Copies of this chain bind each other. A is one copy, B any other.
Amino acid sequence: MKTLAAQVITPEDLLKHWQGHRALTRRVIEAFPEKDFFEFSIAGMRPFAKLADELLAIAVPGLKGIVTKETKPFAEDSEKLVFKAQYLEKWDQATAEINEYWQKLSIEDFNENFNLFGQYEFPVIQNILYFIDNEVHHRGQGYVYLRALGIEPPFFWER
């Protein structure tokens, strides 16, 4: 039997933390005007819809890979979404799927190495923190887009 080192956050609280961030990103998607969500960009960076594609391609596929120990390569969905409402629907499906897959993680899993997308060999906890950080990072970009569009973004601390 392994002894666990003293650690500082429970799986439940980490899931809540992640889903809190995802709820905020959902509000950022909602805040974009339909057209700007797909088209607005600064300095040739991706529009927010493209960033949302990336976030959707990481969250459930990444977590599913961790749980099933399958290392499928990273791939954005080939089904092209053309309305914001479709993104919001897919976002909500992902929220539910994350909650389901999360229940299949054991406490030991978090410290096991996993080769995410067959490319990033790190402990699971680091993979999951990366999912969150990457979302916060791109959402920060979305905040600048909204401001540049003259739109007040949601409060950062509202989750």
Contacts and interface: CB of A to CB of B under 8 A. Distances in A.
Number of identical protomers: 2
Interface string A74-107: 0000000000000000000000000000000001
Contacts of A148: 42-43
A80 to B, nearest CB: 25
Contacts of A139: 137, 140
Interface stretch (A8-16, A32-40, A55-63, A64-72): A8-16
Nearest to A146: B43
A110 B8 contact: yes
A23 interface: no
A136 B140 contact: yes
A125 B6 contact: no
A159 B22 CA distance: 24
Given A17-B129, A137-B139, A139-B140, A147 B42 contact: yes
Contact of A21 (B9, B125, B133, B140): B133
Interface string A127-159: 001101110111111011101101000001100
A14 B9 CA distance: 10
Nearest to A157: B130
Query: Closest 3 interchain pairs by CB?
Result: A140-B140, A7-B7, A43-B147
13 contacts: A6-B10, A7-B9, A7-B11, A8-B125, A9-B110, A43-B150, A45-B144, A45-B147, A132-B133, A134-B156, A136-B140, A137-B137, A140-B141
